[in-house]
Amino acid sequence: IHVLKPEGSVMEPGDLICTMTLDDPSKVKKAELFTGQFPSLGAPWPRALKTMPHNTLVAARNMLEHVMTGYKIPRERIAKALQDVRCMLQNPMLPILEVEEVLSRVKNTIPFDLYDQLLRLGHTVREKIRKELSSGNNAPSPKAPIVAGLNEISSEHFSNQETEEKSQSQSGKTVLKCAEEYCTAVIAAIRESGDAASGVINQIASQYTNGMRASYLNLLSELISLYVETESEFAKLELSDSAEKDDVLQELRQENASDLSRVHALSYAHASKSSRNDLMIDILGELEYLVRQEDIEKTSKLSLRSEAIRIFRTVGSLNGISNTDVALEARQVLLELQDKSYAEQLETLEGRLRRIAAGDSKELDELIHDTNAQIHFLIEVISNSNDSELRNTALDVYIRRLYTAYKVENVKLSEGKVCANFTFFAEPKESLSMGTTGLASASSFDDLTALLSDSRVGTSRISDSQSVETSSSIGLDMDGGSVPAEKRQARTQSHVDMQTTGSKSVAPFVHRKGALVFFNDAESLKSGLKDAVINVNANGSSNQSDNPVNVMHIILNFNVWPGAEDNVEGLPAGLFELLQANLDLLKENSIRRVTFATATNGGIQTPILAGHGNRFYTFRERSGFKEDRLVRNIETPLAFQLDLQRLANFNIRTVPLGKNLNLATTVHLYEAMPKTSTGKGKPQKRFFVRAVVRQTGRVEDADEKLSLLNAYPGPERVFVQALSALETIKESLGTVGAAGQNHIFLNLLGYSKVEPSYMEAICRVITKRYGPRLRGVGVSEVELKVNVCLMEDTPPIPMRIFTTNPTGFSLQVSRYVEATDPNDPNESIFYSVSDSEKGLGGILAAMGLTELEEDEHEAETEHAPLHGKPLSTPYPVTTAIDARRARAMALGTTFAYDYPSIFKRALQLEWRKFCRESGSKDRPATATLLTSEELILDDEMEAEDSVGFGLCLTKRAPESNSVSMVAWRMNMKTPQYPDGRDVIVIANDITNKAGSFGTREDELFNRASQMARDLGLPRLYIAANSGARIGMADEVKQAFKVKFFNDEDPSKGFDYLYVTPEDYAILGPDGRKSLIGEYIPLEK
C-alpha cells in the first residue's frame, strides 16, 4: 500500500488516499460483459392474482410503511399507493379474499367441517354481492369466472374517486354490510368449533367487524404511529437544554447506547423528513375526509371521530422544528372538525337569509357586521340557489356588507334577473370609531391605492405588471409628523378617493349609484354587459362626466376565460379587453370602478380555511380601466385592512404567486423599492407580505397534550403561507431583497378575549418555531394586528405586536394599542403596552375607561420605537446600520455592534437556567444584566472621557466608526457574579474595510488588551477579519516586489519582499523620504 496523503492532510470528497500494488495480479478475476440470454423463468405471475384487492392492499401498505421508515420513493408512486389503500378498503371482496388466502394454507391443520363451513360462507356472500351489484346494472359477464367477475365489478365500483359516489350509494353500502356480516359469521363459526389453530383467521375477520372505515382508520393510525415514534424523539432533543449543541444525533446515541440499531432506524427515517412530511399531510387529509363521511353516513359501529381527534391531538402536540407543517396541519384539522361542515355552514346561512326575508331586522344587522367569512357563501347562494327569494335576499345582504361604511338606500331587486341596483353616499367622520365588531369601519377606504403617497412630496409610481401609475395623499409628511387636521381626509372620512390626475375625491353626501349583477358564463357577460352598464345610470341623476362616481359589482359563475383555460392571467386579461371595448359606454354612465368576483365552480365542498375560494379583480376609471393589481383577490370591504398606506416610502408592485388558489387569494406579496436613497450605492429592494386572517377560532379543550400556545392554528397557517410566498419567489427570482429587511403583516379579523402577554408568548413561540425559515427568506420583522377584549363587557380594541430579530439571536417584542392622541382627538397613535400598571393604562385609555397618562417607562424603552407616533407612520427605508447588518449577514457573520445585545440575551438564558435549577426567583432586572461603554483611541473626534491607556469613552452611533475594530468595557451580571463583573470585549467590524488589521486597528487592539492586563479583567476577542492591511502610501506599495520560490508557480510561496535600487533612490532618505530600508546582499 502506497500512501498518497500524509497524516493530518485536509481531505476533500473524491481525494485519492493511497494505491495498492498486488503481489500476483494474475490471480485477480476480471468481470466480463455478459452477452448471452437470461434463462426462462417460466410462466408469468397471473395478473388477476396481482390485482386482487388483498394483494394490492398489502403492496400499497408496505410501500407506505417503507416511506415512513425512510426509504426514497417517487412522489407519484406514494400517491398511487395511498389511493390504492383507500379504494381497496372500500372493496367488499377484501375480507373474503384475505380469509380464503389463509384457509388455503391452513386447511390441513383445522377441522374439515370448519374449513367447509367457511368456504360455503364465502360463496354465499359472493352470490349476495353479485346480486346486489347486478341490480345496479353492473353485473359481470355470465361466462366469466365468479372470482374474476367479482374482481372486475369491485374494480369498476371502488377503484377511483370518480366512481366513489357509487360506493356511497345504497347498493354500495349494502355490499359493504355484507362483508361485515361475513366477518361476524366467520368469527362465530370459529368460536363454535373451538379450534385454536384458527386464530389467524379470527384475527383477520376481527379487523372488519366494526366496518371498513374503522379498518381504514386503524391502518392510517399505524402509519401515523411510525411517524410520531421517530419525530417525537427528535422533537424532545431539539427542545431540550442541549438543543444548542451542533449534533442532536450524538445526544440520541448517548440515550440509546445499548440499542444502536434503534438509533440507526430513527436517524434513517428522520433523514427523509421531506417525503415523510408530505405523506403525513396527505394521511391527515384522508383521516379528516374519513371522519366527515362517517359523520354523514354513520356506517361504523365505533366512534371514528373520537379516535381521529385523539390522533390529531397527538400529531398536533409535536414541537420539533422539522415537523412544524405537519403539526400545524393537525391542529388546523382539529379546529375545522369542531366547526360545521361546508354544507352545514351553507345551510345555516340560508336559514339566516330566510329569517331576513321574513322581516327579521336584527338578523340582518348581525349578518351585515358578522366578522366570519360570509362573502364566499353569499356568492354561492347567488350563483347556484334555485330559490329566487333566497337569491334576492343574498344580493341585498351582499351589497350591505360591501358598503357597511356607507349609507345604503333604495336597494332594488330585478324580477327575472339576478341583479340589484342601489344608491349610497359617504358620511363624514370626526374621529376613528371602534364598532362592536372590532373593525374600525371609519377607515374603510374604497380606493386603496389613493393612500400610497403624499401629493406634497410628488407622484408615486406604483409599478405592477401593467405599469399602472397611481398617486394620492396620505396623512403624513416626509418627517413622519402629522399633517394638519384639515388635510387629514384619510382619518376623517370613511371614504377617500383622491389622485393628482383623473378622478377627484367624492365629497360626503354625494348620492352615488351601484349595481350588483350576476352572469352565468362568458357569453352572457359579453352580451349583457352593455345593458347592465346603462341600467346603473338609468335616470342619469348622478352623471358627472368630469368625476365619475358610480360603481359596478359583477359576480361570475366561471373562473376561466374562453380560449385561455391554461393561463392564470387569462380571465383578468379577457375582462380588461371587454371593458376596453365598452370604454365610452362606461364613461358616459359615470362608472368609476368595476369589480368582478368569481364563484368557485358551484362551490368548493370543503370548510373555509384561512383563505376563501373566490377571486376579485378591480378595474378603475382613473387608469383607463386597467386592473388595480395591488388589491387583487381582496374583498372590497377588507382592502383597507392590508394597511398599505404604511408603504408610502416605497414604490411598490405586486408579485404574482402562481396557480395555488388558497395561497394567491390569502397572501399578498409586494416588492418595494425606496423612493429615496439613504446611503451610498443602489437602493435595496425589500418585500412586504400582507394578509388578512379570517379564521381566528380556538381549538376546544386545549390541554397539556395540545398546549394553549398551539390552540389558534388559523393565524399560524396564514403565517406559514406568507413564508411560503417568500420562499416561492426566492426559488423563482433567486433573491428575497436585502438580507434581514423583509416584513410580514397579519391582520386578524374578529376579536379575542386574551391577555397581551399571552399574544406575546404566541409570537415568541411561532418565531422560534419558524426561525430558520424566517432567516432563510430574510424576514426581520413580523407585525400582528388583533382586536382584543381584556375585560368582560368592554369593546374590543385594536392591538399590534411587532416581533423583530435584527441580529438573528436576540428576539425583541413590542406591543402597542391604537389609542387616541390626547393632544389631537382626530388622530390615533401607537401606544406602547407593558404588563405594568402604567402600560395597562394605555389599553384602558384606548377603551375610553381612563385618562391617557404619560408612561415614562414605556416611552424610554428601546423596544417601543413607534410609541406616540401616528398609525399612518410609514415603514422606514433601510438605514445605514441596517445596510451594514445585512452586509455582515451576507458574509455569514454578525455585525460587530450587535454583540452587546447578543451577550445580554445569553445572560438572560443563563439566569433562566439558574433559577430553574436552583428554584430561586431573585434575579437582576433584564435592563441591568449588561451595561457597555465603547472604547476608542484618544485621538478620534468622538473621544469624550479618558480612561487611560490612550483610550476614551464615546456615545457615538453604532455605524459611525472609522476603524474596523471595536472595543467595549462591559459589566455582566451572571449567577456567579450577581453584582456584576467587568470584561473587555474586542471585535472586528467585518463591514468596515472587511475587518482587516491596519495600524489603527492594531493600536486599538493593543491598548484595549493592555488595559485588560493591567486591570486584571478578562478579555474576549471575537475575530471576523480578512487579515492584515498594509497601511502605507500607494507609491510605496507599488514599489514592492515579491521574490517567489518558483517564479512559474507562485503557489509554492515567496521568500521575501524587496524594492529595486532605482525605486529606493526615489523613495528613500535621499528622495521623498517615504521609505527606510536596509541593503542586504544575497548569497549566491
Question: DSSP assignment, residue 954?
Answer: E
Rounded CA-CA distance 309/217 in Å is 12
Task: Among 236-245, 404-413, 1058-1067, name the most confident range.
Answer: 1058-1067
List of residues 6+ apart from 124 with CB closer than 8 A: none
Burial zone of 119 (CB within 10 Å; 0-12 exposed, 13-18 middle, 19+ buried): middle
| Centroid of chain to Cα 203 | 45
* Alpha-carbon span 224 to 5, nearest angstrom: 48
The amino acid at 480? G
Q: What is the pLDDT of residue 1015?
A: 93
What CA–CA distances, in Å, run from 184 to 95, 100, 129, 189, 533? 11, 15, 16, 9, 68
State the pLDDT at residue 842. 44
* Dist. CA 745–CA 524, nearest whole Å: 40
**Do β-strands 18-19 and 591-598 pair in parallel, antiparallel, or remain unpaired?**
unpaired
The answer to whether 812 and 762 are in contact (CB under 8 A) is no
- Please tell me the distance from the alpha carbon of residue 684 to that of residue 1004, in angstroms, as a whole number: 33
84, 158 contact by CB (below 8 A): no
- From the list 1022, 642, 676, the residue with the least C-alpha distance to 878 is 676
pLDDT band at 498 (very low <50, low <70, confident <90, very high): very low
Question: Where does 491-585 show beta strands of DSSP type E?
Answer: 512-519, 550-556
| Residues 1078, 1065: Cα–Cα separation, whole Å | 12
Give which of 943, 965, 953 is closest to 899, Cα–Cα. Answer: 965
pLDDT of residue 504: 61
Q: Record the pTM.
A: 0.60
The count of C-alpha atoms lying within 13 angstroms of the C-alpha of 129, restricted to the half-sphere facing its C-beta, is: 33
Residue 16 phi/psi, 5-degree rounding, is -85, 120
Per the CB < 8 A criterion, the answer to whether 670 and 649 are in contact is no
Distance (Å, whole) CA 625 – CA 736:
31
Q: Which residues pair with 688 in a beta bridge?
A: 670, 743
* Residue ranges of E strands in 847-950: 930-937, 946-948
What is the structure's pLDDT at 605? 38
Cell of 718: 396564514
Phi and psi torsions of 347, nearest 5°:
-65, -40
Collapsed DSSP state (helix, strand, coil) of residue 801: strand
Cα atoms in the Cβ-side hemisphere of radius 13 Å centred on 757:
5
Task: Count how many residues are written for the chain.
Answer: 1084
Strand order in the sheet with 550-556: 407-413, 419-425, 512-519, 550-556, 591-598, 616-620, 626-627
Mean pLDDT highest for which of 776-790, 806-820, 925-939? 925-939
Region of poorest pLDDT, from 25-34, 140-149, 595-604: 140-149
DSSP string over 243-292: GGSS-HHHHHHHHTTT-HHHHHHHHHHHHTHHHHHHHHHHHHHHHHHHHH
What CA–CA distances, in Å, run from 534 to 417, 489, 574, 1046? 15, 32, 21, 90
pLDDT score of 834: 60
Give the lowest-confidence range in 78-92, 127-141, 627-641: 127-141
Q: How many CB atoms lie within 10 A of CB 171?
A: 18
**pLDDT of 963 strictly over 50:** yes
1016 band by pLDDT with thresholds 50, 70 and 90: very high
Single-letter amino acid code for the residue at 545 = S
Q: What is the pLDDT of residue 295?
A: 66
User: How much is the pLDDT for 541?
Assistant: 53
The C-alpha cell at 263 is: 438509533
pLDDT of 1041 higher than 80: yes
Contact of 201 with 99, CB cutoff 8 Å: yes
| Among 383-387, 492-496, 935-939, 969-973, the least confident range | 492-496
Q: Tell the burial category of 927 from Cβ atoms under 10 Å away from its Cβ (0-12, 13-18, 19+).
A: exposed
If DSSP codes are grouped into helix, strand and coil, which group holds residue 471?
coil
Closest CA to 1020 of 930, 950, 955: 930
Query: Which one has a higher pLDDT value, 741 or 69?
Result: 69
Q: Is the pLDDT of residue 307 over 90?
A: no
pLDDT for position 947: 84
Bigger pLDDT: 864 or 280?
280
Query: What mean pLDDT is reported for the chain?
Result: 74
pLDDT tens string 170-213: 555 666 677 778 888 888 888 887 776 678 888 888 888 887 88
Backbone phi, psi, residue 99, to 5°? -65, -45
pLDDT confidence of residue 439: 30
Q: Compute the distance between CA of residue 924 and CA of residue 978 in angstroms, rounded to an integer.
A: 8
pLDDT tens sequence across 909-924? 888 888 888 888 788 8
Task: Report in angstroms the alpha-carbon separations of 539 from 506, 552, 590.
Answer: 20, 16, 12
Which of 243-257, 834-848, 869-883, 1058-1072 has the least mean pLDDT? 834-848
Give the confidence band of 837 by pLDDT, cuts at 50, 70, 90.
very low
Instruction: Give the helix, strand, coil percentages of the chain, each rounded to 5.
Output: 45, 15, 40
Report the candidate in 466, 364, 401 with the shortest Cα–Cα distance to residue 635.
401
46-60, 730-744, 957-971, 1068-1082, range with the lowest pLDDT: 730-744
Question: Cβ distance 786 to 820 under 8 Å?
Answer: no
Distance CA(706)–CA(315), nearest Å, equals 9
What Rg, from alpha-carbon coordinates, does the chain have? 37
* Euclidean distance between CA atoms 214 and 1054, whole angstroms: 78
As a whole number of angstroms, the distance between CA 507 and CA 425 comes to 9
Phi, psi angles (nearest 5°) of residue 718:
-65, -35
Rounded CA-CA distance 830/367 in Å is: 31
Average pLDDT, stretch 1044-1057?
Answer: 85
